[in-house]
């Protein structure tokens, strides 16, 4: 395929960078339209902005060299894992080089006795769990996609287990990263806790590739529990389901997963995953512990559920049925997209204090029910976090206007209820204005940090902060 290169600016500058990168990487520098296009968008509705070239790095030293080459020409560098982000994080809005880390996919070390491991940034969560299969350990963070662990750290991802095991914020012990200068830093060791200086690990986690490129991570692992019990529970109403969640959390039941699906999402999952769940609001639950303790938790939850209009809570410790249900839950996003083939999903992701969750969900559901768009609701309600997936044709002006209206109302509702504009998807391109609404002048502090660490704005420009 011909090298068809579209640049925002200076052709000479780009030629210099490409020539230097080709010398460094050989075939691992790609400039074909197909490869560039595939690196210019994520799984969201955000439009494609292809990079000018894609560099496939194999080592941290190579990442450093690539960043140095780009920095010398002030060329943007956009770190790329699996391209499964949901707010346009990998889009090359100013052109530049997509730095693909998928070849850095080695699990470097598992310290089973310390419940930690060291991985390269391109290792995916499923790959890691498959690697850990015989150790009695697992890595709990599970966004829907089989994302790379570097990308999950960069977007501060979470998922269904966060109510028990935390998010990437709590799961990353330290990282190796390449800064905008090309300098390689390591943020710490393997200690469980540390009070040694500024928390650079947490600063890089969630920085979406704008402060540094994460190349290696030390991750906390969890022991696979002796027993896992799980099941589903239908509810008369979304309100009832949410009230059951709130009481479950408030009574301190150490639940591992508690997820809500509205009847639209249940219908989508039935169709996509060949299930026959009743079409009502539904909780998916899981308890981890000893055999005695998961039985106690399940019984206690059943009593709470029946107080809030819940139907029979059939729980099981059998792995097969549980796995089938949770696979369906994990595929909720793809199931939603399949409701109207050819459409894109505009996802929103908010998180509120749990006492405000019922109201936030109810008002959102009323908005969606009144709209002509199809929009299932699904959420990690134990954390107060939920999503809608509005099915849209991005070229249809009416769809887009309606989706944006619903989106903005939902986010502003969450902010008014002391919540956040994103619980786990990040800011990317889609929520820059809302970040400013949420934290006000603190954005200036973010901007100061960004300018100090990346004065020429080469690391994933245009994301998180409007420059």
Provide, rounded to whole angstroms, the least separation between the CB of residue 460 and a second copy. Answer: 13
Q: Which of 24, 115, 338, 400 binds a second copy (CB under 8 A)?
A: 115
Residue 427 within binding range of a second copy, rule CB under 8 A: yes
Q: Which residue matches tokens 């690196």?
A: 39
Structure tokens at 354: 């749990």
How many of the chain's residues bind a second copy (CB under 8 A)? Answer: 94
CA distance 279 to 428: 34
Provide, rounded to whole angstroms, the least separation between the CB of residue 177 and a second copy. Answer: 9
Helix (H) or strand (E) holding 30: strand 29-30
Provide, rounded to whole angstroms, the least separation between the CB of residue 220 and a second copy. Answer: 11
Residue ranges in 44-73 that form contacts with a second copy under rule CB under 8 A: none
CA distance 431 to 108: 35
Residue 116 within binding range of a second copy, rule CB under 8 A: yes
How many Å from the N-terminal Cα to the C-terminal Cα in the chain? 35
Provide, rounded to whole angstroms, the least separation between the CB of residue 386 and a second copy. Answer: 12
Q: Which stretch binds a second copy (CB under 8 A): 24-32, 190-198, 331-339, 390-398?
A: 190-198
Nearby residues of 9 by Cβ (< 8 Å), 6 or more positions away = 95
Provide, rounded to whole angstroms, the least separation between the CB of residue 408 and a second copy. Answer: 16
> In whole angstroms, what separates CA 11 from the centre of its chain?
35
Strands 116-120 and 222-223: unpaired
Provide, rounded to whole angstroms, the least separation between the CB of residue 190 and a second copy. Answer: 5
Q: Which stretch binds a second copy (CB under 8 A): 42-50, 52-60, 99-107, 446-454?
A: 446-454
Provide, rounded to whole angstroms, the least separation between the CB of residue 419 and a second copy. Answer: 5
CB-nearer residue toward a second copy: 95 or 151: 151
What string marks each residue from 149 to 168 as x (binds a second copy by CB under 8 A) or -? ------xxxx---x---xx-
Residue 43 within binding range of a second copy, rule CB under 8 A: no
Residue 425 within binding range of a second copy, rule CB under 8 A: yes
Residue 278 within binding range of a second copy, rule CB under 8 A: no
3-state SS assignment for residue 68? helix
CA distance 77 to 461: 8
Instruction: Identify each DSSP E strand in 274-326 by its residue range.
Output: 281-289, 314-316
3-state SS assignment for residue 127? helix
CA distance 251 to 248: 5
Q: Which of 28, 33, 146, 170 binds a second copy (CB under 8 A)?
A: 170
Query: Residues 149, 151, 156, CA angle at the centre, nearest 5°?
Result: 90
Residue 179 within binding range of a second copy, rule CB under 8 A: yes
Query: Residues 31, 37, 39, CA angle at the centre, nearest 5°?
Result: 85
Residue ranges in 244-273 that form contacts with a second copy under rule CB under 8 A: 246, 249-252, 254
CA distance 414 to 112: 40
CA distance 159 to 137: 18
Residue ranges in 318-377 that form contacts with a second copy under rule CB under 8 A: 349, 351-355
Residue 431 within binding range of a second copy, rule CB under 8 A: yes
Q: Which stretch binds a second copy (CB under 8 A): 22-30, 185-193, 257-265, 395-403?
A: 185-193
Q: Which of 217, 221, 282, 446 binds a second copy (CB under 8 A)?
A: 446
């Amino acid at each position: 395929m011909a090298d068809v290169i579209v640049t925002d600016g200076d052709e000479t500058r780009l030629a210099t960078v490409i020539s230097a990168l080709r010398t460094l990487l050989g075939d691992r520098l790609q400039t074909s339209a197909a490869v560039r296009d595939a690196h210019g968008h994520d799984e969201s509705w955000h439009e494609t902005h292809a990079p000018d070239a894609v560099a496939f790095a194999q080592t941290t030293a190579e990442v450093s060299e690539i960043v140095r080459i780009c920095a010398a020409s002030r060329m943007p560098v956009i770190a790329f894992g699996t391209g499964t982000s949901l707010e346009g994080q990998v889009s090359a809005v100013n052109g530049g080089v997509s730095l693909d880390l998928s070849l850095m996919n080695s699990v470097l070390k598992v310290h089973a006795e310390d419940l930690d491991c060291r991985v390269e940034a391109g290792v995916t969560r499923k790959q890691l769990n498959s690697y850990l299969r015989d150790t009695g350990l697992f890595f709990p963070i599970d966004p829907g996609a089989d994302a790379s662990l570097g990308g999950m750290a960069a977007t501060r991802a979470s998922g269904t287990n966060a109510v028990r095991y935390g998010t990437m914020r709590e799961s990353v012990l330290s990282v190796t990263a390449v800064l905008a200068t090309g300098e390689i830093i390591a943020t710490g060791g393997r200690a469980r806790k540390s009070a040694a200086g500024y928390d650079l690990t947490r600063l890089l986690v969630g920085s979406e590739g704008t402060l540094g490129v994460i190349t290696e991570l030390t991750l906390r692992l969890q022991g696979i529990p002796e027993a896992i019990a799980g099941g589903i529970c239908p509810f008369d109403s979304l309100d009832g389901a949410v009230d059951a969640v709130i009481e479950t959390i408030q009574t301190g039941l150490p639940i591992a997963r508690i997820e809500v699906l509205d009847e639209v999402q249940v219908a989508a999952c039935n169709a996509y995953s060949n299930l026959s769940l009743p079409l009502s609001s539904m909780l998916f639950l899981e308890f981890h512990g000893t055999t005695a303790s998961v039985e106690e938790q399940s019984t206690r939850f059943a009593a709470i559920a029946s107080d809030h209009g819940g139907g029979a809570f059939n729980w099981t410790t059998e792995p097969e049925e549980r796995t089938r249900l949770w696979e369906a839950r994990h595929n909720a996003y793809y199931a939603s997209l399949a409701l109207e083939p050819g459409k894109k999903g505009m996802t929103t992701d908010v998180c509120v204090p749990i006492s405000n969750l019922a109201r936030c969900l109810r008002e959102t559901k009323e908005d969606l029910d009144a709209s002509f768009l199809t929009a299932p609701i699904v959420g990690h309600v134990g954390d107060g976090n939920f999503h809608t997936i509005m099915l849209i044709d991005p070229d249809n002006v009416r769809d887009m206007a309606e989706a944006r209206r619903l989106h903005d109302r939902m986010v502003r509702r969450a902010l008014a209820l002391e919540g956040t504009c994103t619980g786990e998807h990040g800011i990317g391109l889609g929520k820059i204005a809302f970040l400013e609404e949420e934290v006000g002048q603190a954005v200036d502090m973010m901007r100061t940090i960004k300018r100090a660490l990346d004065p020429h704005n080469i690391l994933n420009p245009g994301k998180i902060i409007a420059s």
